[in-house]
Chain A
């Protein structure tokens, strides 16, 4: 890889990791969604570097375009004050074990990457790799069976969503639902005077 390609890779990778960190740690849900968006954009950049243009475009359309917007809609519907209370219980052990996991994963990746230098390299990709043609060929050609089987997965997801949504909701108010109701009420009462002031 040339120096520019290296620089591009490390830049995208660094931004992706930063975005992921923000998405996980941000207390404000909107900030978390923005972190996720940053992460998705830089992963699309990494796909481009791998000569997978189609995947990069799909990543932008589906994840950045649809899923993050959906998150933002949900955050909007819940209201800005619907924030989970800070839960400090077990934060030390949570931090310790997740840190341990990341450490083990990094060490393993380093060791296997070092060991893999001597192993046989993977075959080089074709020149048209990553385009729509090649993507369609593998999707409807060699991987036709898993493609067809994935329809069962989508089917069960749709039926399941209908089955759960059609059921009667619980009569008992959970703490989360109570907070949501209170937040909505305060949002509505708080919003009314401010519009009145604007009219004046």
Chain B
């Protein structure tokens, strides 16, 4: 097959984004934009699936080297990112008109941000890694600042922008050191130089530390998580959904690719003198701090922000386990990202559905008693929260199960135990929302939340709910896909 076919997911999203931008400029009908963006992203995901099915052996994908790598790993992320983006656009189609934020730039921003994340997941050179990262991050900053009339949004966006630029600069410094040490910017070339002995020098270790700082910042691991709650709370909820779903997946794609390909030599991947112990410490801190803080939040949106930090912690446990069980652990991380995407998009979508213009449901008090008054809005919320908590017939259970098993199989018993204790703590604050929804009555005189009506949001919730149940009841097919994707990522 030709190279155009192998690159079709990227091309479809780019062309679709440009066309939608033109359509937005010349048409008065803003309603169609959400449908259009969803279709573009669905098409991007479908093309990625087609390339996956058909195979790309005949295509001359080597000619893209070292800039872009089209393999099953990047195709998996193309599909995942398009799914997350499509769910977020559907939510935006309901949320933005309801809250009078209906400006068409949001969709173009979201599509180009998705393109950046897709470039990031396929990047095979430090240069393209940085380009993809900045495309993705700039879009995310602007989406956070989209509701400029709100001081919270502006504050969160500024914090996110400043800290994000700072982290990118630190990572760029690491890249420059790596180039100085190895003489190449391609990840494969760096790996060769590392195996040839470049990984022993102090410069390589310093470069690794700087790169790790950038990687951990982008997936919001503790201690580089300070921006997350403010940015997630300030952003319009569809943008929050998008950041916690697609931007985080893009960050993990970059982390896996850079750590496994460039720092995959025995020296850098060892427990004694490499990245795994640092990442294990960050994983423990991330899970514990985020879970303990999430339980104290009164705002459900902020609680979900801390919950997304906690999930990054569980994912980091899987990344650490790659050290000893390469394929199994990588596959478990990929599968977890899939389950996390559908559960989180659903949870934010349900939160959107519970509020309406001028009365956005934000705090636990807002949700009090909504289970009795509006069961149709509360039921999906309950399902997604249970999935985030990891309760059996849902997707979240198997996501956690595979990560924990990969960690056990590679001998990290203590890490697994800490992660397990943390997921029990996590269940507390998810169930707390359920208690408020079903067992509390709103205080007398308090404003009562009434759900909005939107076909877009309902569709997104329906799709997520079906996927949450499907992944929870028969995870084997998608796990196979994740295993194949993990095999594609050479160690």
A positions within 8 Å CB-CB of B: 104-105, 107-109, 111-112, 115-116, 119-120, 122, 143, 145-146, 149-150, 152-153, 155-157, 159-164, 166-172, 174
Q: Is the CB of B138 within 8 A of A156?
A: yes
Give the contacting residue for B134; candidates A116, A153, A162, A168; CB below 8 A. Answer: A153
- Chain A residue numbers with a CB within 8 Å of B147 are 167
Q: Which residue of B lies closest to A151 (CB)?
A: B14
- A186, chain B: closest CB distance, angstroms: 25
B206 sits at the interface (CB 8 A): yes
- B400, chain A: closest CB distance, angstroms: 34
Q: Is the CB of A164 within 8 A of B112?
A: no
B479 sits at the interface (CB 8 A): no
Q: Is the CB of A146 within 8 A of B149?
A: no
A-B contact pairs, 25 of them (CB 8 A): A107-B202, A108-B177, A108-B206, A111-B203, A112-B180, A120-B183, A146-B67, A149-B119, A156-B112, A156-B138, A156-B139, A157-B138, A159-B108, A160-B142, A161-B142, A162-B105, A163-B106, A163-B109, A163-B143, A163-B145, A163-B146, A164-B146, A166-B103, A169-B149, A170-B151
- Chain A residue numbers with a CB within 8 Å of B125 are 146
* Whole-angstrom CA separation of A159 from B110 in the bound complex: 10
- B118, chain A: closest CB distance, angstroms: 10
- A74, chain B: closest CB distance, angstroms: 16
* Whole-angstrom CA separation of A155 from B145 in the bound complex: 17
- Chain B residue numbers with a CB within 8 Å of A172 are 151
Give the contacting residue for B116; candidates A109, A116, A120, A156; CB below 8 A. Answer: A156
Q: Is the CB of A156 within 8 A of B201?
A: no
- Chain B residue numbers with a CB within 8 Å of A116 are 180-181, 201, 203
Q: Is the CB of A152 within 8 A of B106?
A: no
Chain A proximity mask over B125-139: 1 for CB below 8 Å, otherwise 0: 101100110110011
The 6 A-B pairs of least Cβ separation, nearest first, read A112-B203, A160-B142, A167-B148, A163-B105, A145-B67, A156-B112
- Chain B residue numbers with a CB within 8 Å of A169 are 148-149
Q: Is the CB of B142 within 8 A of A163?
A: yes
Q: Is the CB of B148 within 8 A of A170?
A: yes
B50 sits at the interface (CB 8 A): no
Give the contacting residue for A105; candidates B108, B183, B201, B206; CB below 8 A. Answer: B206
* Whole-angstrom CA separation of A45 from B128 in the bound complex: 28
B247 sits at the interface (CB 8 A): no
- Chain B residue numbers with a CB within 8 Å of A168 are 148-149
Q: Is the CB of B131 within 8 A of A115?
A: no
Q: Is the CB of B149 within 8 A of A112?
A: no
For chain B, give the interface size range.
Answer: 35 or more
Give the contacting residue for B149; candidates A109, A155, A162, A170; CB below 8 A. Answer: A170
* Whole-angstrom CA separation of A171 from B149 in the bound complex: 7
Q: Is the CB of B148 within 8 A of A164?
A: yes
- Chain A residue numbers with a CB within 8 Å of B134 are 153
* Whole-angstrom CA separation of A118 from B41 in the bound complex: 51
B47 sits at the interface (CB 8 A): no
Give the contacting residue for B201; candidates A104, A112, A164; CB below 8 A. Answer: A112
From residue 177 to 211 of chain B, which have CB atoms closer than 8 A to chain A? 177, 180-181, 183, 198, 201-204, 206
Instruction: Decide yes or no: A145 and B68 within 8 Å by CB, A109-B203, A152-B119 being known contacts.
Output: yes
* Whole-angstrom CA separation of A157 from B148 in the bound complex: 17
B391 sits at the interface (CB 8 A): no
B64 sits at the interface (CB 8 A): yes
Q: Is the CB of B105 within 8 A of A166?
A: yes
B467 sits at the interface (CB 8 A): no
- A118, chain B: closest CB distance, angstroms: 11
- B211, chain A: closest CB distance, angstroms: 14
| Most chain A C-beta atoms within 10 Å of own C-beta, residue among B67, B128, B145 | B67
Instruction: Decide yes or no: A115 and B116 within 8 Å by CB, A156-B109, A167-B148 being known contacts.
Output: no
Q: Is the CB of A164 within 8 A of B142?
A: yes
B113 sits at the interface (CB 8 A): yes
- A178, chain B: closest CB distance, angstroms: 13
- B257, chain A: closest CB distance, angstroms: 16
- B235, chain A: closest CB distance, angstroms: 12
- A141, chain B: closest CB distance, angstroms: 12
Q: Is the CB of A153 within 8 A of B154?
A: no
- A48, chain B: closest CB distance, angstroms: 20
- Chain B residue numbers with a CB within 8 Å of A157 are 138
Q: Is the CB of A146 within 8 A of B131?
A: yes
Q: Is the CB of A146 within 8 A of B127?
A: yes
Give the contacting residue for B135; candidates A108, A111, A153, A170; CB below 8 A. Answer: A153
| Most chain B C-beta atoms within 10 Å of own C-beta, residue among A105, A166, A167, A174 | A167
* Whole-angstrom CA separation of A108 from B181 in the bound complex: 12
- Chain A residue numbers with a CB within 8 Å of B103 are 163, 166-167
| Most chain B C-beta atoms within 10 Å of own C-beta, residue among A155, A156, A167, A171 | A156
